[in-house]
Amino acid sequence: MTAALRRDPDPDASAALERLLSRRPALHAGFLAAQAQARRHLGAAGLPHWAALVGALYHANAGPAVLEALWGIERRILPGAGLDTEATLWQATRTLCRHAGSRTTLAILGPLAARLSYGGDGRELAARLAALAGLAERAPDALAPLAAVLAQVMQELPPEPMAQWLADGLALHATDRRRRAAYFGLEDPLARRRLADLAGAVRFAPHEERLKLVTQALFGLAPEVRVIADPALIRPRLAGGLLLMPQGFPDLRAEDAAAFFEAAVTHAACHGAFTRARFTVGRMKPVQIALVSLLEDARVERLAARAYPGLGRLWRRFHTAEAASARTVASLFARLARALADPDFRDEDGWIAKARALFERAFTEDAGRQGFVPEIARILGHDLGQLRIPFDTKAYRVEPAYRDDGLGLFDWDETDPDNDDVLELVVEAARLRQEEADAAPPDSAPAPAGGARMKGAVPQEESTIAGLYPEWDHRLRTELADHVTVRLHAPAAVGASALKARLDAAGSIAARLDALMRRARLDRPTRLRRRLDGEEIDLEAAQEAMLARRLGELPDPRIHALKRRQGRDVALMLLLDVSQSTADPVGRDGESVLSTAALAVGLLGAALDGVGDPFAALAFASNGREDVRITELKRFAERWEAALPRLAGLRPAYSTRLGAAIRHGAAGLAAQATHRRVLVVVTDGEPSDIDVEDEAYLAEDARRAVADARGQGLDVFCVALGAVADRAAAAIFGRRNSFPITRVEELPARLAALYFQLTVR
């Protein structure tokens, strides 16, 4: 029981409160009705407790509107709610009023009440209110922006995940009120990502590369998909050559994700292949626009399924609408979509039968003629009007959910100026054009106004997804699963003659490094038994010697053993930072940090290749969490000569998301079956990226990545170039595992010393 119920309340509390409120007739009438209801459902024993709770809120100057709102909520949850739930309801509301004010409290209670059904027990409501009261105590300024989006938050999150989302916002922005307001108002992308994560949203990224190959093979085009964290985007949307994908689909299960995204992307590719021009809006009504979209979806899918029957089976699994007597737009349109996709589906509704017959006749006559779609849509839209079936533009949702919302199929510039019915759609289309412009590369040409045919949009740089990796958020004390996308970018194709000339000029360093390599011993120690001298006793030999003495025989004096490293058993993974800061000049010869590091890597690689040690090298930079850029300089199985042109082609750019690079490098190194596996990072700065403002965030994530790599049995070291990098490396890798090089031009010579230090650990 809550604190308010642990003591015996005044048995006359209800009567006293009734006398007090009798001076306020409007409030008094509501109180009497609520009091009668409480007496009926809570009993005589519970009534004093209830009256004490109401009185406490009244004396907190909550105002009559708040009291009336709570009495309205009680009418829905009694008799199911018990005294504990009632106590939480009133006490949490009192806390909200004290810290955030009555107006904000009313704004919070409205969405909460809207979710209630009559006859419930109110436990979910009480849990949500308790979480909101806790937020009010710590950050009352967050309640006002939250009230505006509370309905959406509650729709996506049950009470416990919602409480976690609120706590995350406080942890992320404990002192910054401006950012806190952006988080709780869902203006912060991180807030939307956390909402999606806690709601169990399924990510598109793991399926992206496979689906590019699928659509390229089937249709000769690969629509570029952009995941958009916009609450208003609830269905995929075509935007020129792009497919805008909502960040989350609330009802999508993880086991259905692969098929769902395959259905969505192949459907979009169908429009790219078969929708030859955008439809003119003109004087179309919203219902006709929705019908054009539905019928065109059916037409392009039918064309694709004619060539690839498996696509038809894929799409049909998401058509779940059942034949029914309901004559609402939502029901009729979902059933019509299924009827046009599934020849075995039976629905006796006359409107659906007519639509089906019109479509089949037109498709049979000329399936490639796009013009029959608006002709049928006008007829069907007129029939719906005659049937007095209303169409609500705001409430309409395309079904099944894998299909795009249809806005990208229309030329909105050709809308009749007197067509006020589509004003809301025109506004949304303007947002669509802005989304298309924002998502397109800066120097790309605009999509043709009259055509919806996709061009198989290709990013400015070809890349493939190498993996999704978690990221540690030190503020939330949690690991954000699949938060970072690592992409493999092809190296620039350049000649290696200049780099080879510099390597030849550094012959003395190369010779010294080669000699040191050959003397190094990095394998597992081998136990050498039966020695005259050694570091320990060979127990087996000692037992045999004791037995020989007892038998009167001459014992073998070789009773010692020692451990020696006889050969080499080490694999090395080198991670080279190629962020923009590596373009800075060093020394007097005009070389940059990157060119000097490339020379050092070249010398080390040649020496390792000479002794046969397994060795791989990756260059890394980042352009936000969706594009951690990895360039493979050398794979373990390759000869070193193959890496020289790639090494010579490196160019500095972007930022340094170190943790993701370490995780990716560690994943490759961990697969090597050697005694020692050594990962070395060469960097000139501290972690940073364009989408991170918290200075400690990426450093803490990198430190976590290092700890995880060591947990896999890897040795992790850092060569820190410059004072800034040295300070950051010591915090991330540990002082004894970081090797500072203040003068970057000394790096080629110092790598030899580093390798020697590794051998004696």
Tens of pLDDT, residue by residue over 131-165, are: 999 999 999 999 999 999 999 899 888 899 999 99
Question: DSSP letters of 629-673?
Answer: EEEEEE-TTS-GGGGHHHHHT----SBB-HHHHHHHHHHHHHT--
All residues at 6 or more sequence positions from 11 whose CB lies less than 8 Å from its CB, including other chains: 48
- Which CATH code for domain 500-517+569-623+640-663+674-759? 3.40.50.410
Residue type, 443: D
pLDDT tens digits for 630-678? Answer: 999 999 988 888 888 999 889 999 999 999 999 999 999 999 988 889 9
pLDDT of 707: 95
Residues of the chain with CATH 3.40.50.410: 500-517+569-623+640-663+674-759
CA distance 409 to 274: 12
For residue 245, give both structure tokens. 């994908």
Q: Is the pLDDT of residue 2 over 70?
A: no
- Sheet containing strand 237-239, edge to edge, reads 224-228, 242-246, 237-239
Summarize pLDDT for 57-70 with one digit per residue, the tens: 888 888 889 999 99
Q: Of 112, 123, 117, which is closest to residue 87 (Cα–Cα)?
A: 123
Instruction: Report the phi/psi class of residue 739: left, alpha or beta, with left for phi > 0 and alpha for psi in -120 to 50.
Output: beta
How much of the chain is helix, strand and coil, in % rounded to 5? 55, 15, 30
The pLDDT, as a whole number, for residue 351 is 95
The answer to whether the beta carbons of residues 661 and 628 sit under 8 Å apart is yes
Lowest model confidence (mean pLDDT) among 343-357, 592-606, 690-704? 592-606
For the chain, give the number of residues: 761
Identity of residue 610: G
Reference 488, options 625, 622, 630, 621; nearest CA is 630
Rounded to the nearest 10 degrees, the angle between the axes of helix 423-439 and helix 286-307 is 50
Of 429, 488, 464, nearest to 278 (Cα)? 429
**Does residue 5 have a pLDDT over 60?**
no
475 neighbors 170 (Cβ within 8 angstroms): no
DSSP 441: -
Q: Which amino acid is at 747?
A: L
Could you tell me which residue, 344 or 209, shows the higher pLDDT? 344
pLDDT in tens, 684-695: 888 999 989 888
Compute the distance between CA of residue 705 and CA of residue 692 in angstroms, rounded to an integer.
17
What burial class does residue 451 get, using C-beta atoms within 10 Å of its C-beta: 0-12 exposed, 13-18 middle, 19+ buried? middle
| pLDDT tens digits along 371-399 | 999 999 999 999 999 988 888 888 889 99
Place of tokens 């992307």: 265
State yes or no: pLDDT of 758 exceeds 70: no
| Percent of the chain at pLDDT exceeding 70 | 88
Which residue, 578, 267, 534, is CA-closest to 406? 267
Predicted confidence at residue 709, as pLDDT, reads 96
Least confident range from 159-163, 320-324, 411-415: namely 411-415
Residue 444: which pLDDT band, with cuts at 50, 70 and 90? very low
Q: How far is CA 714 from CA 250, 525, 571, 638, in A?
A: 40, 17, 10, 22
Q: Could you give the CA distance from residue 291 to residue 303 in angstroms, rounded to a whole number? A: 18
Name the 3-class secondary structure at 553: coil
**For all residues of the chain together, what is the average pLDDT?**
85
pTM beyond 0.85: the answer is no
Instruction: Please list, in sequence order, all residues whose beta carbon lies within 8 angstroms of the beta carbon of residue 639, skipping any fewer than 6 positions away.
Output: 609
For residue range 579-638, list pLDDT tens digits in order: 999 998 876 676 888 988 888 888 888 888 777 788 999 999 999 998 999 999 999 988
- Distance, in Å, from the CA atom of 660 to the CA atom of 611, rounded to the nearest integer, reads 30
- Here the tokens at position 525 are 């120690």
User: In terms of pLDDT, which residue wins out, 15 or 702?
Assistant: 702
Which distant-in-sequence residues (6+ apart) come within 8 Å of 16 by Cβ? 10, 51, 55
pLDDT band at 336 (very low <50, low <70, confident <90, very high): very high
For 560, residues 6+ apart whose C-beta sits below 8 A from its C-beta are 530, 531, 532, 533, 534, 535, 536, 537, 538, 541
Q: How confident is the model at residue 452 (pLDDT cuts 50, 70, 90)?
A: very low
pLDDT in tens, 290-307: 999 999 999 999 999 999
Q: State pLDDT tens for residues 481-529.
A: 888 999 999 888 787 777 788 877 877 777 777 776 666 655 556 777 8
Residue 715 tokens read as 């040795």
Per-residue pLDDT at 442: 45
Tell me which of 338-347, 415-424, 544-553 is least confident.
415-424
In DSSP terms, 471 is beta-bridged to: 480
* Secondary structure (DSSP) of 4-49: GGSSPPPTTHHHHHHHHHTTSHHHHHHHHHHHHHHHHHHHHHHHHH
For residue 715, name the pLDDT band (cuts at 50, 70, 90): very high
79 preceded by cis ω (within 30°)? yes
Higher pLDDT, 91 or 7: 91
| Longest CA–CA separation in the chain, Å | 120
Helices first, then strands: H and E counts in the chain = 27, 16
Please determine, for residue 469, whether its predicted confidence score (pLDDT) is greater than 90: yes
How far, rounded to the nearest angstrom, does the alpha carbon of residue 229 sit from its chain's CA centroid? 10
Structure tokens given for 306: 């004619």
Q: What is the DSSP string of 229-272?
A: --TT--S-EEETTEEEEES--TT--GGGHHHHHHHHHHHHHHHH
What's the pLDDT at 447?
Answer: 45
User: How deeply is 463 buried, as exposed, middle or buried, from its count of CB atoms within 10 A (0-12, 13-18, 19+)?
Assistant: middle
C-alpha of 584 from chain center = 34
- State how far the alpha carbon of 731 is from the alpha carbons of 233, 359, 725, in Å: 42, 68, 10
| Token duo for residue 409 | 């199929």
